[in-house]
Amino acid sequence: MPRGKFITLEGGEGVGKTTNLVFIENYLKLHCIPVIVTREPGGTLLAEKLRQLLLDKESEAISEHAELLLIFAARAQHIQHVIEPALASGTWVLCDRFTDATFAYQGGGRNMKNSTIKWLENLVQGSLRPDLTLLLDAPIEIGLERAKSRSNLDRFESEKIQFFEQVRRAYLLQAELNPNRIKVIKANQSLIDVENEIINVIGNFLR
């Protein structure tokens, strides 16, 4: 049984990750590829509890190091209990955010050192890296407007505009540094145009 592929979806708030995850899942299933869909932070019982703590706007101020370590603690659980077993059994894993989000939010948004994040990445993930990452990119006003219209803002969504600008820049830098793995999709188009771009990228990947 060949190992499954690990595909991640990234981007700022409200750019359409969750919406397009369902689209990609259906597209892969149409091609008879066994796939599970999961998310970060989250994906296991404990990791989902950590997610709640991370997103809770009412909690005490969370220190930057505590935030970073909680994210990697959730990731360690997720990898051990969900991602690795699936990939090893030949199932593809489609994940809503992964470590590129840490470089974007904690690195770009919170100005934490990339070397610290890389150290934790190596510790927690070993050699595990996504095979393909789709970065949905849109001007931040568009994503925030979409996110706002959908639900109450969480702890991250309540940050200032500058934070989101830094997150977007860090994501685009990650894409520049990893052009073979990270494909940028213009998310400020109609959903059908976004889906067509995604089909192009996934189609190339399948070939």
For ligand Z5A, the binding residues (CB under 6 A) are 11, 13-19, 40-41, 71, 96-97, 101-102, 105-106, 146-147, 150, 154, 156-157, 190-191, 194
Between residues 14 and 130, which has the closer beta carbon with respect to ligand Z5A? 14
Residue 12 CB, nearest approach to ligand Z5A (Å): 6
CB 111 to ligand Z5A: min, Å: 13
Start-to-end C-alpha separation, the chain: 19
CB closer to ligand Z5A, 22 vs 88: 22
In the complex, the smallest distance separating the C-beta of residue 154 from ligand Z5A, rounded to whole angstroms, is 5
Task: List beta partners, residue 9.
Answer: 96, 134
In whole angstroms, how close is the CB of 190 to ligand Z5A at the nearest point? Answer: 6
Residue 106 or 207 with smaller CB distance to ligand Z5A: 106
Q: Which is nearer to ligand Z5A, 6 or 156 (CB)?
A: 156
